[in-house]
Amino acid sequence: MTQTQPIIELDSIYKSFGSVRANKNISLKINSGTIHGIVGENGAGKSTLMSILYGFYKADKGTIKISDQKVLIADSQSAIAHGIGMVFQHFKLVENFTVLENIVLGAENGNLIAPSLKSARETLKNLATEYELNVDPDSLIENISVGMQQRVEILKALYRKAKILILDEPTGVLTPAEAEHLFRILKNLKNEGKTIILITHKLKEIMSVTDTVSVMRQGEMTATVKTVDTNPEQLAELMVGRKVLLQIEKKAPIIGSSALYCRNLNYTDEKGVHRLKDINFNVSQGEILGIAGVAGNGQSELLEVLAGIKKAEGEITVNSNNISLNSRTSNPLTRRHLGVSHVPEDRQKLGLVMDFYAWENMALGYHYKDQYRSNKFFMDNTQLKLETEQRIKNFDIRPNDGDLAAKSFSGGNQQKIVLAREIEQNPNILIVGQPTRGVDIGAIEFIHRRIIQLRDAGKAVILVSVELDEILSLSDRILVMFDGKIMGEKIAATTDERELGLLMAGIG
């Protein structure tokens, strides 16, 4: 089979969930031995389409061909039998099993496990050498890095003789160095004749690693182009339906007085794990302090300590007010009284009450304010609804109905509800975690503008994000965390992903 021949052909694929049409009349050809990117906003239908190809869903209408043969993919076992493997964004591994046991799991030869493990060990050794996928077969999953776990998922698929590999947002939890290594692996796989389908929202990755890219919008396929014939700006416009600024311009910061500083901050969780280790930093009025790091290195705990959710030891001063970190008065309400607003990383767990209406969520944490109360005992619902209506307009929240429950909005619009509530309070300090997680590319542009506007108004912003592009674009200074410690500080204008990536990997 030559490289120009399609290995996958989807023809007129339709899929609906109730009244929601997720895929509409999608036709797509993917050539053998290529890396094919699929991009689109949230809800564009990318994951649904790939789930049909992998057998999780069955199309309402349409046909699938593999190597020019019409096939029926009823379930994932059928997909595997047709040579299709999938690496999910959230890995499907048993944490207290070894690497070898996870790879064999579900693909054992007979009733006895020992012969399967022995055979798999040799196969694994050969695959690791051939594709640069080295990993210790006897390590427990819980003891290896996220990047290594991803290699295990790829090895699982290759062990099952996958010739087509689907990867869903594969770099979301990787350091830049791990991401570069992954792309070398994908290119090795391509050179050996494998076909890769890459779902990602990172347009820079699409441009660097794919041969062809398909764009989806509102359940339909809007374009398929050779990667060399396009650019990130054109792809963003195809995804959103309008021009999008991928890099928000900002003027040099006007640094004011100290807004918040931490001294010798330490936090140990309920399991006795030391999560924050002697954290020291300062953020001033009129600047954005970015905090970079691979997820799980203390950034989440730092945000929650700063917001008053978790108790800690050490010293935090906010606007010249010392906070007693272990006292009952160290809580989110105290922080709000000091002008601190917090956009949590997990909007559904910490930012919203999903069964409350949007207008009720707009008051969460600020319901004590006189502007929201008709008297000592009752809220002024009329005023709150009017304010919600204005915020929905300001932040382009869709649908524009404050009487809908939070759970009725998409993830990106839930994020906008939380951002609207916190930013519209005009805080002195905004603590924001993963501001654009799960947000469409058009909304990312809007959110970035609002954060920069806050900074230009003389406010202090502490920004945590796993997206290095976002950290570099928005921040004035950047701290990098590894294993609960601050590994280093960089000026955003004079650093790059390589420098930050080394610090993220613990290399000072």
Q: How far apart are CA 227 and CA 232, in angstroms?
A: 10
Q: If pLDDT is split at 50, 70 and 90, which confidence band does 223 have?
A: very high
Phi, psi angle pair for 224, to nearest 5°: -135, 120
pLDDT per position as a tens digit, 458-476: 999 999 998 888 999 999 9
Q: If pLDDT is split at 50, 70 and 90, which confidence band does 249 have?
A: confident
CA distances in angstroms from 475 to 280, 286, 364, 462, listed in the order given:
18, 11, 28, 9
* % residues pLDDT > 90 (the chain): 63
Q: How far apart are CA 460 and CA 341, in angstroms?
A: 11
Q: In this predicted structure, which of 171-180, 353-362, 431-440, 480-489 has the lowest mean pLDDT? A: 171-180
Judge whether 264 and 316 are in contact, CB under 8 Å. no
For residue 438, the model assigns a pLDDT of 67
Structure tokens at 23: 């895929």
Structure tokens at 308: 């008053």
Judge whether 48 and 20 are in contact, CB under 8 Å. no
Judge whether 27 and 13 are in contact, CB under 8 Å. yes
Across 504-508, average pLDDT? 88
Beta bridge partners of 38: 199, 214
CA nearest neighbour of 148 among 133, 158, 162: 133
- How many other CB atoms are there within 10 angstroms of residue 333's CB atom? 12
For residue 4, the model assigns a pLDDT of 65
Residue 326 has pLDDT above 90, yes or no: no
pLDDT per position as a tens digit, 177-215: 788 888 999 999 999 999 999 998 788 889 999 999 999
For residue 18, the model assigns a pLDDT of 86
pLDDT per position as a tens digit, 230-242: 999 999 999 888 8
Q: If pLDDT is split at 50, 70 and 90, which confidence band does 263 have?
A: very high
Strands ordered across the beta sheet of 164-168: 84-87, 164-168, 195-199, 35-40, 212-217, 220-226
- How many other CB atoms are there within 10 angstroms of residue 155's CB atom? 23
For residue 266, the model assigns a pLDDT of 97
Judge whether 291 and 299 are in contact, CB under 8 Å. yes
Residue 2 has pLDDT above 60, yes or no: no
Mean pLDDT in the chain?
90
The DSSP code for 345 is S
Residue 132 has pLDDT above 50, yes or no: yes
Across 15-33, average pLDDT? 92
Residue 262 has pLDDT above 50, yes or no: yes
For residue 59, the model assigns a pLDDT of 95
Question: Which residue did the predictor score with more confidence, 199 or 508?
Answer: 199
Q: If pLDDT is split at 50, 70 and 90, which confidence band does 176 have?
A: confident
Question: Which residue did the predictor score with more confidence, 4 or 424?
Answer: 424
Q: In this predicted structure, which of 392-401, 421-430, 447-456 has the lowest mean pLDDT? A: 392-401
In terms of average pLDDT, the best of 118-127, 162-171, 304-313, 364-373 is 304-313
Q: If pLDDT is split at 50, 70 and 90, which confidence band does 402 have?
A: very high
Q: If pLDDT is split at 50, 70 and 90, which confidence band does 388 have?
A: very high
> Residue 322 — left, alpha, or beta (φ > 0 → left; ψ -120 to 50 → alpha)?
beta
Q: How far apart are CA 499 and CA 103, in angstroms?
A: 34
Angle at CA 259, nearest 5°, toward 256 and 262?
130
pLDDT per position as a tens digit, 112-130: 667 778 888 888 888 888 8
Question: Which residue did the predictor score with more confidence, 157 or 442?
Answer: 157
Set out the domains of the chain in order of their start, with CATH numbers: 6-240 (3.40.50.300), 245-339+427-508 (3.40.50.300), 352-426 (no CATH)
Calculate the CA 66 to chain-centre distance.
31
DSSP 184-205: HHHHHHHHTT-EEEEE-S-HHH
